[in-house]
Structure 1
Amino acid sequence: MNTKLFGLFLVLLVCLPSFAQQKPVEKVDSDGVYLMPDQLPEFPGGIQAMMKFLSTNIKYPVEAQKKGISGRVIVQFVIMEDGTLDQAKVIRGVDPLLDEEALRVVKSMPKWKPGMDRGEAVKVRFTAPIMFNLSKKDTPRPNFPELVVPLGQEVENRSLQGVWQSCSVQPGEHGYKILLFPVLKIVSADQTFMNIMTAGMDGKSNAVIYCQGEYSLPSDNTYVEMVDRSLDPTFTQGTKNEISVERLHDNLIKLSFTVPGQERRWTEYWFRVPSPNVRILAD
């Protein structure tokens, strides 16, 4: 059955804790659920992995497509002491079809690393705003751009300075097939870096700086980030992340690092996009 083309947009502040509101809140609510623990829960692999999980697993209900139903569903849930998800509920719905799907995919999340307060695991409340949006027939379908980077070229530009875009990489017969994601890493000449979630495929949502700080280059294959400010529950303020760098092309790198509190290694690919000289101006 043919259905309308659609795009699924995750709100850029997806799954940030409930204390990210303008009104001040208490650290613990009447049910013993923390809103401001010493250490936030962590989705396996960090915030980018969480966004990928949601975008991969959520399915736009066919009946909602037929009826032209779209909008933002806000789901609230609690990460328990053992990292499991509980008490998931829709606190602002759009339509039962979308509400049910948003709730289903949130409930299907894997175990998180639990939040900590005073050295003990605690329950932490989160909210997840998820946007369902149908593209119009007379509008080109929004998707992530693809490109191919040639194989076998000698790497000449070993500098990490510039604007990098997160991507997936699939080696092919003629080159690396690149799928670009809406996440940027700006590596400045003044030894500062900034990670930005861009405006999303709808072109309307505001961009969000979710991590920034200073960096150093102890060796040609080692890049170290010192986080000064962060909305990422994995790499919080004060984190020092030592990253191994493998150069696949002048403008394509593979970064490998250990997620804090976990033994396994995590891998990311970044493609350098054409840009002028960049200096970070954010306060």
Structure 2
Amino acid sequence: MKTIIISFLSLLAIVAFVSTSTLAQGRNELVYTTVEKQPEFPGGKAALSRYLAENIQFPSSLMRKNHDTGPVSAKFIVDKEGNVRDVRISTKQLDKKAQKGMADFMTSIIAAIEQMPRWRPGEVKGVPVAVFYTLPIEVNMK
């Protein structure tokens, strides 16, 4: 009976720990979802907006059709050295006519994010840590 209780308490402790961090796939590195200090692009949010505007190409096929991309977000890890890796893009469901243009758009987003300069890493208790980061990408065709 003691073994069952100890196992249950151990499992409970693991579940509580995983709620704020997780192990990165294929690496033995904790990646936090909640941190005391969020990662920051060099120069802050305004510099990040300028960087994205200069480096992401919106396909002309989508522009000509005035296609609404809907919400687009990039999800990636900012590691404890400030490097960006494991970029993934999430979008709304696409119709067949827009799929090629959206694929080109997502490729452009991934390339721009992978080439970003080092970020200031996130911190927990003053120590740099790897953080899952979600970056909404707004498309403004004006």
TM-based fold match above 0.5: yes
- Matched residue type, 1:90: I
Aligned equivalents of 2:66, 2:87: Cα separation in 1: 26
Contact 1:77 1:88 in 2 (8 A): yes
Offset at residue 44 of structure 1 (A): 0.6
Post-superposition CA distance 1:48-69 (Å, at most 9, x none): 1111211222221123223433
Are residues 1:97 and 2:96 paired?
A: no
Structure 1 stretches of at least 4 aligned residues deviating more than 6 Å after TM superposition: none
2:90 is matched by which residue type in structure 1? I
Q: Distance in 2 between matches of 1:119 and 1:59?
A: 37
Measured after TM superposition, the shift of residue 106 of structure 1 is 1.9
Kindly indicate whether structure 1 or structure 2 has the higher relative contact order, using CA contacts under 8 Å at least 6 residues apart.
Answer: 2
TM norm structure 2: 0.67
- Assess, with a 3 A threshold, how the Cα gap between structure 1 residues 131 and 38 changes in structure 2: closer, same or farther: closer
Alignment-derived partner of residue 55 in structure 1:
53
Q: Which has the higher helix share?
A: 2
Kept in 2: contact 1:42–1:113 (CA 8 A): yes
Amino acid at match of 1:118: K
Larger proportion of strand: 1
Q: Any idea what SS the aligned residue of 1:132 has?
A: coil
Corresponding residue for residue 80 of structure 2:
81
Aligned counterpart for 2:129 among listed residues 97, 103, 122? 122
Query: Post-superposition shift, 1:133?
Result: 4.4
3-state SS of paired residue (2:104): helix
RMSD: 2.1
TM-score by length of 1: 0.36
Shift of 1:91: 2.6
Structure 1: unaligned runs, 5 residues or longer: 1-24, 135-141, 143-283
Q: How many corresponding residue pairs?
A: 111
1:28-77, CA deviations, whole angstroms, 9 ceiling, x for partnerless residues? 12432111122221211111111121122222112322343331321100
Question: Which is higher, the Rg of structure 1 or of structure 2?
Answer: 1
Q: Which amino acid aligns with 2:67?
A: I
CA distance in 2, matches of 1:68, 1:113: 36
Percent same amino acid among aligned pairs? 27
Matched, 1:27 2:26: no
Shift of 1:127: 0.9
Partners of 2:73 and 2:126 lie apart in 1 by: 31
Conservation of the 8 A alpha-carbon contact between 1:42 and 1:112: yes
